[in-house]
Structures are given as structure tokens and as C-alpha cells.
Amino acid sequence: MDKFRMIFQFFQSNQESFMNGICGIMALASTQMYSAFDFNCPCLPHYNLVYGLGILLVPPFILFLLGFVLNNNISMLAEEWRRPQGQRGKDPAVLRYMFCSMAQRAMIAPAVWVSVTLLDGKCITCAFCTSVPVETLGNASHPRLSQGEVQRVLARIPCKEIYNGQQLIANEVAVRYLRCISQALGWCFVLLMTTLAFLVRSLRPCFSQAAFLKSRYWSHYIDIERKLFDETCAEHARSFAKVCIQQFFESMSTDLVASHCHLPRKAPADAGEAAEKLLGITDRGAMNMALKSWHRCKPPLHLHPPALPTGNGWAGEGQPPTHPSAPRRETAAYYSWV
């Protein structure tokens, strides 16, 4: 249990670790789905190709879209791409980094599905059974069979129980031939994906490491800023609801006192704290305006010290800046009797 707890804490440490864990779970789920899938080839000409290629390509596309859906950054990317310019410019490099990062993680589960499907060989056997070279592997001089009849016989190769063309080509020979081709394609696909991943991981820092670090930093910043904004909005909503409820009950107690029902009144201890968390936004229209302003013109990414208010206005208006006095140095003398 301690190991599972440590793994779970690692997945929750940051957004990338969490998404890597989700992609790993999806990859394992894709293999389990394929193992539990009941593959039934129709064993009919022109239908075998559609069914085999459909099983090979359609589930990876669904898993790819599901990888985007489960990624929390897809909404953040769409929001950052579609928001107005405002006071903060949009960096295309950051948007490209976010999209590529999500696409790389979303491709893991489809790649696993395609690899497992090709190594198993059922889809290729079903899709291309009518393309078996009968002249090389079988008896091409089988009499009284037209081209259409030969296609119908070959289409039944995946269905061993109804196959009736042993005189034309042996079922085991055709299945073994197609399965060998499928496994070769599967291993080539695995090698290609591994090589591409290696090149992306190893060669990317050699060319644009500085740009990559900047894009990664600002991508993390956008994610953290969105989380903090959601937490601030939730805290403001909680404080707003608390103050509204407290005012409601205070008005009810006032009405009861006016109706000669003497009730003990006790000032809430956290009323002042909840009012402070409202930050002066105590109206629905003002809150809606603040949310629209955040979407339309986010503040620029430039930190500056806030101006300090004085008795007649703001500090720094028409007055030279005052520097704080240097701290007074104190010395201590120690005397000892010898």
C-alpha cells in the first residue's frame, strides 16, 4: 500500500505527472480492451477489408480524442487561443508547446492499440485474405472456379470452421503467411515510434533549448494562474455566500425582535474575516464585470510595487521618492576582569 500511495502522490505532484499517469492507464486499458474484444470477421468479399481496417484504425482515433478530452489543458489551450488580445499578448510558441505536449501524450494509447493489433495479426488476416498469392502458395490451376468464386473462397480464410478451399490453398498456410506480414508490420511500427520518441527527446534540447524552456515555463504559468484564479473565485463565492446568509439571519432576527420576540443576539466571530475576503466586490454586477475584465484584458506580466497611499493622496505624486534611513549600527563592548 505504501508503494501505491507513493505512486499516487507522484501522479498528483504536478500537471505533467498527472497526465502521464492518465496516459499510462489509458495504454493499459487499450490492451485490456483488445484482449476482451470478440473479433468476428464477416468472411465476405469487400466486407473483410472494411471490418479489418476499421478495427485497426477507428479505436485508435477514438482513444486519441479521448486523450485530448481527459487532458485538462485542452480547455486552457482553447481559452488562451480564443481570448481577446487585451493587455497581455498571446505567444504562439506557448500555444504550440501546449498542443504538442497534449498530442504526444494522447498518441500513447493509440500507438499501443495499433502495435498490439498488428502483432496479433487478426485484422490484417481478415482485411487482406483475398490478396493471398494463390499462384505461389496454393493451386492456381484449380478447375471450374471463376475469379469471383476464388474471391469468395479466399474471403473465408479467417473463418476456419466454414472454409472449404483446401484444394485451392491450405488454411494454415494462408493464415501463417498473413500473420507473418502483420507481425513484421507491427515490429516496424514499434521501432518507428520508439525511434521518433528517441529523436524528439534527444535532439530537441540540441537546437532550441532556450525557446523550449521559455515555452514550458509560460505554459506552467498559465496553468498555475488558472488554478489560482479558480481558487480565488471559489473563496470569494464562499465568503460572499457566508455574508449573504449572515445578513439574512440578522434581518430575520431583527424582524423577530420587532415582533416582541426577544432572542439572544451574538455577533458572528468570522463576519469581519468573510467581509475582508470579498475585496470590495459586494455586488453581482461588479463580480460579473471583474470576470469579463479578466477574460478580455488580462493584466500584463509585469510586476511592480504598489503605490502607497498618504494623507493627501498617493505617494510619489509630485514628491521625490524617499529612501528609508539606513539601520543604526549598534556596537557592544565586553569587559572582563583578569
Q: Which of 85-94, 191-200, 202-211, 328-337 has the lowest mean pLDDT?
A: 328-337
Query: Higher-confidence residue: 167 or 188?
Result: 188
177 lies in some domain: yes
Query: Higher-confidence residue: 195 or 38?
Result: 195
Mean pLDDT of 96-109: 87
Looking at residue 193, its pLDDT comes to: 92
Looking at residue 86, its pLDDT comes to: 80
284 lies in some domain: no
Q: Which of 130-134, 138-142, 172-176, 207-211 has the lowest mean pLDDT?
A: 138-142
Contact predicate 40/158, CB 8 Å: no
18 lies in some domain: yes
Whole-model pTM over 0.85: no
Task: Give the torsion through C-alpha atoms of 174, 179, 180, 184, to 10 deg.
Answer: 150
The mean pLDDT value of the chain amounts to: 79
pLDDT band at residue 147 under the 50/70/90 scheme = confident
Read off the C-alpha cell for 282.
459586494
Q: Is the pLDDT of residue 99 over 80?
A: yes
Mean pLDDT of 14-28: 70
Query: Higher-confidence residue: 276 or 83?
Result: 83
Looking at residue 324, its pLDDT comes to: 46
Looking at residue 323, its pLDDT comes to: 47
Q: Which of 64-78, 114-128, 151-165 has the lowest mean pLDDT?
A: 64-78
Q: Is the pLDDT of residue 315 over 60?
A: no
81 lies in some domain: yes
Domain interval for residue 132: 1-208
43 lies in some domain: yes
242 lies in some domain: no
Looking at residue 15, its pLDDT comes to: 59
* Total domains in the fold of the chain: 1
Mean pLDDT of 70-89: 82
Read off the C-alpha cell for 64.
486519441
Looking at residue 5, its pLDDT comes to: 60
200 lies in some domain: yes
Q: Which residue has the cell 473463418?
A: 159
Q: How far apart are CA 178 and CA 159, in angstroms?
A: 14
Condensed to tens digits (0 to 9), the pLDDT of residues 33-64 reads 888 888 889 999 889 999 999 999 999 999 89
From the list 170, 182, 171, 173, the residue with the least C-alpha distance to 52 is 182
pLDDT band at residue 337 under the 50/70/90 scheme = very low
Read off the C-alpha cell for 58.
477507428
Contact predicate 130/170, CB 8 Å: no
172 lies in some domain: yes
Read off the C-alpha cell for 241.
455566500
Looking at residue 13, its pLDDT comes to: 53
Contact predicate 247/285, CB 8 Å: no
Q: How far apart are CA 200 and CA 195, in angstroms?
A: 9
Condensed to tens digits (0 to 9), the pLDDT of residues 253-301 reads 776 666 555 544 554 556 566 677 787 788 888 899 988 888 888 888 8
pLDDT band at residue 88 under the 50/70/90 scheme = confident
State whether residue 144 is helix, strand or coil: coil
Query: Higher-confidence residue: 213 or 309?
Result: 213
Looking at residue 123, its pLDDT comes to: 93
Q: How far apart are CA 243 and CA 221, in angstroms?
A: 32
Q: How many CB atoms lie within 10 A of CB 192?
A: 11
Mean pLDDT of 9-37: 71
Condensed to tens digits (0 to 9), the pLDDT of residues 198-208 reads 888 787 777 77
Query: Higher-confidence residue: 31 or 187?
Result: 187
Contact predicate 207/189, CB 8 Å: no
Q: Is the pLDDT of residue 68 over 90?
A: no
Query: Higher-confidence residue: 79 or 273?
Result: 79
